Amino acid sequence: MRSIKPITALFASSEVFPFAKSGGLADVSYSLPRALSSMVAITVAMPLYRTIDREKYSIKPLGISAEINISGTPHHTELYGCEYQGMEYIFIHSPVLSERDYLYGPPGEGYVDNALRFGLFSYAIVDLVKRYRFDVLHLNDWQTALSALLVHRDPDLNTKTVFTIHNLAYQGIFDHHMLGALGISDEYFTMGTLEYYGNINLMKAAIAFADKVTTVSPQYAKEILTPEYGNGLEGFLQSHSDKLVGILNGIDSTHFSPKDDKALVKRYDSKSLSNKKVNKKACLKETGLQDIERPLFVFIGRLVAQKGLDILIDALDDIASLPINILIRGEGEEHYRSELKRLAAKHENISFIYGYDEAISHRIYASADFLMMPSLYEPCGLNQLIAMRYGTMPIVRSTGGLIDSVLPIEEYDASSTTGHGFVFSQETSDALSLSVTKAFESYAKKRSFNKVLRHNMQVDLSWGDRAKQYFELYTTLLSKTV
């Protein structure tokens, strides 16, 4: 009998939880490979940033180094590795890529040499593919995109490439001269390849040359083909739409589990929902907010325009006039930071804590009654999924993955078991205020309110079937190999 050899895959990402995280990409890069590992022999590769705690995760040199030559300049790279929760990780160290204080640059800025940094990362990924002969190379976002071209132009490689777009707004656009500096010939400076209004666009390399392009929700897969959400790449994506598919992200149900979460003051599940109050009490104490009977509305996320910060800031005076508490937690652009600081000083029922901390965010999800997500666009969004898991009702704008994951409760209906939260469509502060008001009214109807929360906590948000879709995609690609 022929033995069945498992598919081998390399999953490459510029950030992976818990080693380095700036947003949802790190969560997905942690949880999707784990979910796939029961079906595929999968290894995860990422840069070894200086900020990663090598001792904590027992990250050790593998004794393998390579001189990666890019356009005549040799870059010394060394491989490190660790096993974490049963998964195998490979870390790529090279001074230009690794020795920085931030992953991509200080808040709101990118390092000027990011093209070279992540170009080098992309070369190092392909070096790994050559070394270990993976069947599938799964790339994520622009920081890994060049690898698709490098695999394509190498006649010795028949590895299949999958490229996942986590956020089309970040495409890796750089000056034309970087093409040569990255060792790519001018033959790739065409509209059908990397050229983008006189510059180079690294994401185009992956859209053009990957065997399959995925994005993180079915709705976003449709939206990015339109001028409103296509970020200038809608035409290019349309011409490759035959290989584009949207698969909704999941979350790791062990990591995001209020029943087992060690970060919480008091753990709970859908049968002990009232324990949320213990967390809320501690959270109010920590943040200086008063009156536990008031519903707590929170925002957690990057302080950038995408997350609807302008709408939120505009709505806050109005929302704060309700007898509720508002807690905002995030890190990002300075002008949002100062506006939020001003509003928190003005209203006793608004608290704003600038910063990023995984454990604090878990405690906030556990303490809150509502999560506000007025995003302008949202490829998938994980916060609303985490909120549902923690018995916190989402209030979202109907865009991207928020449409796929939050079914609206229109008129608050006690018998409803289909709605998950409040959904509004207009990009205005009035629309957000109106939803918050409706949500506030629903909070008073305790029985029906809790019924929805309990139902939300039981929705299957795990990777299960979604990881299977990726597995089927890998299998289909490999079955086409001659």
Binding stretches for ligand ADP (CB under 6 A): 23-25, 27, 300-302, 329-331, 356-358, 361, 381-383, 386
Return the number of the residue (253 or 448) whose C-beta is nearest ligand ADP: 253
Q: How far is the CB of 21 from ligand ADP (least distance, A)?
A: 7
Return the number of the residue (62 or 169) whose C-beta is nearest ligand ADP: 169
Q: How far is the CB of 445 from ligand ADP (least distance, A)?
A: 28
CA distance 119 to 175: 13
The H-or-E segment that residue 9 falls in is strand 8-12
Q: Which residue has the tokens 């939803």?
A: 435
Q: How far is the CB of 67 from ligand ADP (least distance, A)?
A: 34
CA distance 203 to 144: 9
CA distance 57 to 18: 9
Q: How far is the CB of 457 from ligand ADP (least distance, A)?
A: 17
Q: How far is the CB of 382 from ligand ADP (least distance, A)?
A: 4
Return the number of the residue (70 or 305) whose C-beta is nearest ligand ADP: 305
Return the number of the residue (28 or 124) whose C-beta is nearest ligand ADP: 28
Q: How far is the CB of 303 from ligand ADP (least distance, A)?
A: 8
Q: How far is the CB of 308 from ligand ADP (least distance, A)?
A: 12
Return the number of the residue (159 or 167) whose C-beta is nearest ligand ADP: 167
CA distance 119 to 382: 28
Return the number of the residue (88 or 310) whose C-beta is nearest ligand ADP: 310
Return the number of the residue (127 or 252) whose C-beta is nearest ligand ADP: 252
State the residue number with the nearest CB to ligand ADP: 24
Contact 75, 94 (CB under 8 A): yes
Whether the CA torsion 205, 185, 137, 14 is positive or negative: it is negative
Return the number of the residue (309 or 386) whose C-beta is nearest ligand ADP: 386
Q: How far is the CB of 25 from ligand ADP (least distance, A)?
A: 6
Return the number of the residue (357 or 410) whose C-beta is nearest ligand ADP: 357
Residue 77 pairs with which residues in a beta bridge?
Answer: 66
Strand ranges (DSSP E) for 313-438? 325-332, 350-354, 370-373, 393-397, 422-424
| DSSP string of 16-70, one letter each residue | BTTTB-SSHHHHHHHHHHHHHTTTSEEEEEEE--TTS-TTTTT-EEEEEEEEEEE
Contact 295, 324 (CB under 8 A): yes
Give, as one character, the DSSP assignment of residue 407: -
CA distance 218 to 81: 34
Sheet holding 87-93, edge to edge: 60-70, 73-84, 87-93, 41-47, 8-12, 136-140, 160-165, 212-215, 244-246
CA distance 317 to 321: 7
Could you tell me which of 329, 312, 313, 330 has the C-alpha nearest to residue 373?
312
Return the number of the residue (134 or 297) whose C-beta is nearest ligand ADP: 297
- With a CB cutoff of 8 Å and minimum separation 6, the contacts of 272 are none
Q: How far is the CB of 306 from ligand ADP (least distance, A)?
A: 7
Q: How far is the CB of 304 from ligand ADP (least distance, A)?
A: 8
Contact 354, 332 (CB under 8 A): no
Return the number of the residue (81 or 330) whose C-beta is nearest ligand ADP: 330
The H-or-E segment that residue 8 falls in is strand 8-12
Q: Supply φ then ψ for residue 269, to 5 degrees.
A: -135, -170
Q: How far is the CB of 271 from ligand ADP (least distance, A)?
A: 25
